[in-house]
Amino acid sequence: MHTQRSKLLFVPIILSLLFGAASLNNLYAQDDNEEMSSLRIVGEAKRLPSEIIADRDDNRDINGNLTAGLRIISDLTGLTFRSNNGIHKVQQLPGYNLLYLSTNERVVSIYKDGYPPFQLVLNDEGISLEAGEVWEIQVTGDQKSTMEPVQFSITPENSTIFIDGEEFEVPGTVFDTELTTGDHFVQIRKDRHEFIDDSISVSADRVNTFRYTMDEINPVTVLINSTPEGASIYLNDEPGARGVTPLRVNIYPGNLKIRLTYPGYSNVEDELEFTGENRELNYNLQRYIGYLTVNTTPENATLLIDDQPQSQRENIELVPGAHILEVRSSGFDPVRRTVDVAQGDSLVENITLGQITGNLFVIAQQENTEFTLRKDGQVQEEWVGSKTFRNIPVGNYQLTAELLNFDTQTREFEIRRNSDEEISIDLNQIQGRGTLTINSVFPDAEIELKGPGFSRTYDEAPIQLPSLQFGRYQITIEKDGFDDVEKEVQVNSLSQEVTFVDEFQPRSKGKAVFRSILPGAVIPGVGHGYLGKGRGFLYFLAGGGALAYSIKSYVDYNNAYNKYQTALDLYNSAGSTADFAKLRSDYRGHYATANDALDQMKLGITAYVAVKGIEIVDLLLQKSNKKKLEEAKLQFSARNNGISMRVNF
């Protein structure tokens, strides 16, 4: 044994010489750590949306920024914490520790006797700290400690003791329990007495008895402020509000519960250990609303939220939670749905109502019947003749049918869901006669009038027709040198007067001359277009006759020339016995006939050219149709005003 102990004694000396004292210490520390249990994370970290860090001065870090909360739940006691930026404060509560951290914190170190330090890297656990938010994570480790009896002696009696955050009532002055060996955190509280916070060490090698005495204390005047002001203040479990902010109240140091309420804002619920050092508590209340925008089709649909009609559609302020959204409109199927609005949300709901429709078939017995369809007094559509409407909105309608010289009919009907509504309209004709007067700036214009059972042409204007059957009439006016004018007029019980002045459009003189130059232009249309029907027709007859005579002469010439060629061939091929004198006489006679026909053709062409030349000269000597119209307007105005006037251009 002695030899063995001597050998073991040399081991540290040799190691010290080889590696140095520091290396030897690290070796022992490594052996110790291998024997120690490790701390570990249980489950996943989670954000607690229902909990916030109160916006209060003592909850702000050294830079004045609101801190974030990290709740560490553990079945281990005596945990201590450090962070790179410094922990603002630690609140030990039953079952967990609440760490107040700066929002830029990245690593929290956790310490426990008997365990190596544990580095909690927040990003690795999915924790992103935001001001006022609270995260929760669970930490555990294998425990190798033993349970030992512990006694607490506390004066005065009937106090409350918290051991590692777990609450116990002390029914007298002595409290017996069992605790694991190691360090524990003890808090002793009694109303209107000073706080006691202490760290104790429980050992298996001694009697674990701890004695505490609490002195009475006086209340402290505290100013409670809020932004906005006017929030109701509730303290501890008092049934009613103490008042509204800002308010000064007397509070005994100890556990304090403060609740602030203000309409439209989130309630502030704060639990703190009031030590009396902080004489002013300031809170910033957050608007407790979300925003909802509702777009509806049709736009004029009625919007209800929680059965209350809404006058606005954009950024409606709602208390967070579930709300019943309903959209209604006459003739549409209503939509009812539930929307969940969270605090600070800006939701947009697009709702399109399904239209309730039916079909409408309108049959017109008179094809030109004019229809007007109205719904709730508003014109929906106007049309002529029969028509089919598919998927027309349901509702009450009014259909009006009109046709000149027929009575007017109005039908009221209702379109129902998926129904077919058929309406046949047969109007009754109104029998009667009316008066029609037709006047023209050119009194010599030719007027043609056509209507129901009526067709007639007149040579001069004005025309007065005192008894025409009701109906629609077509008026056509022709005037040499002008385009034809057409107009429709309805004859009814009212006297109708139609006057044609500015409707006349002069034809181009240059265009008429150009057309007359063309050999084939000797047609009635050329003369009619500018010279008038009479003179134009004379030129047509003269030119046409000359051209026809020329064509006939050419045909006669061609026939005579062919006969001449035949007779000449017979003469040249005749035998000695032929009658040469007769053959000579024949071909000479045919030659003379052909020569006469050729002269006649030349005469006809000369006559045609002469007629065309005279026609062109006549066209060039004519007045401008534009001047004719201006002169006619002056004379028309003079006639209507009773003035005798004639103007020549």
Best mean pLDDT range from 12-21, 255-264, 275-284, 379-388: 379-388
d(CA 358, CA 354): 13
Whether the pLDDT of residue 509 is over 90: the answer is: no
Higher pLDDT, 93 or 475: 475
| CA distance readout (Å), 491 to 328, 368, 474, 578 | 51, 16, 11, 88
Give the mean pLDDT of the chain.
Answer: 83
Whether the pLDDT of residue 529 is over 70: the answer is: no
334 and 417 co-located in one domain: no
Going 438 to 439 to 440 to 443, the CA torsion angle's sign is positive
Q: Is residue 638 part of a domain?
A: no
Which residue type occupies 533?
K
41 and 30 co-located in one domain: no
Q: Out of 285-294, 326-335, 437-446, which region has the weakest mean confidence (pLDDT)?
A: 437-446
Q: Out of 134-138, 411-415, 583-587, 589-593, which region has the weakest mean confidence (pLDDT)?
A: 583-587
Higher pLDDT, 293 or 607: 293
Structural domain range at position 317: 290-352
d(CA 434, CA 408): 19
Number of domains, the chain = 8
SS3 breakdown of the chain: % helix, strand, coil, rounded to 5? 25, 45, 30
Q: How many CB atoms lie within 10 A of CB 130?
A: 11
Last residue of a domain, one of 256, 284, 312: 284
Burial of 314 (0-12, 13-18, 19+ CB in 10 A): exposed
Last residue of a domain, one of 164, 187, 213: 213
- pLDDT band at 19; cut points 50, 70, 90: very low
What is the residue whose two structure tokens read 């830029």?
104
- List, for residues 425-481, the tens digit of each pLDDT value: 999 887 778 888 888 888 888 899 998 878 899 888 888 888 888 878 899 988 777
Q: Is residue 630 part of a domain?
A: no
Give 491's strand partners. 471
Higher pLDDT, 612 or 355: 355
Q: Is residue 645 part of a domain?
A: no
Q: Is residue 387 part of a domain?
A: yes
- pLDDT band at 513; cut points 50, 70, 90: low
Which pTM was predicted? 0.37
265 and 161 co-located in one domain: no
Which pLDDT does position 534 carry in this prediction?
66
Residue 480 in tokens: 């040499």
517 and 562 co-located in one domain: yes
Q: Is residue 391 part of a domain?
A: yes
d(CA 246, CA 226): 7
CATH number of the domain that 344 lies in?
Answer: 2.60.40.1120
Which pLDDT does position 522 carry in this prediction?
45
Whether the pLDDT of residue 86 is over 90: the answer is: no
What is the residue whose two structure tokens read 């902080």?
278
Residue 184 in tokens: 């524990």
336 and 247 co-located in one domain: no
184 and 278 co-located in one domain: no
CATH number of the domain that 384 lies in?
Answer: 2.60.40.10
Which of 371, 398, 374 has its CA nearest to residue 387? 371
- pLDDT band at 491; cut points 50, 70, 90: confident
d(CA 531, CA 628): 12
DSSP, res 115: S
Residue 519 in tokens: 């050999």
Percent of the chain with pLDDT over 70: 87
Which pLDDT does position 10 carry in this prediction?
41
Residue 566 in tokens: 């035949």
Which pLDDT does position 417 carry in this prediction?
93
d(CA 391, CA 355): 9
| CA distance readout (Å), 2 to 12, 15, 404, 425, 599 | 17, 21, 141, 133, 172
534 and 589 co-located in one domain: yes
Crossing angle for the helix pair 580-621 and 533-573, to the nearest 10 degrees: 160
Q: What is the mean pLDDT of residues 561-579?
A: 83
DSSP string spanning 31-88?
Answer: HHHHHS--EEEEEEEEEEEEEE----GGGB-TTSPBPEEEEEEES-SS-EEEESS--S
**Contact at 8 Å (CB) between 184 and 202?**
yes
Whether the pLDDT of residue 27 is over 60: the answer is: no
**Contact at 8 Å (CB) between 381 and 360?**
no
Which pLDDT does position 13 carry in this prediction?
38
Which pLDDT does position 49 carry in this prediction?
87
- List, for residues 376-389, the tens digit of each pLDDT value: 889 999 999 999 99
- pLDDT band at 510; cut points 50, 70, 90: low
619 and 518 co-located in one domain: yes
Distance, CA of 81 to chain centre: 55
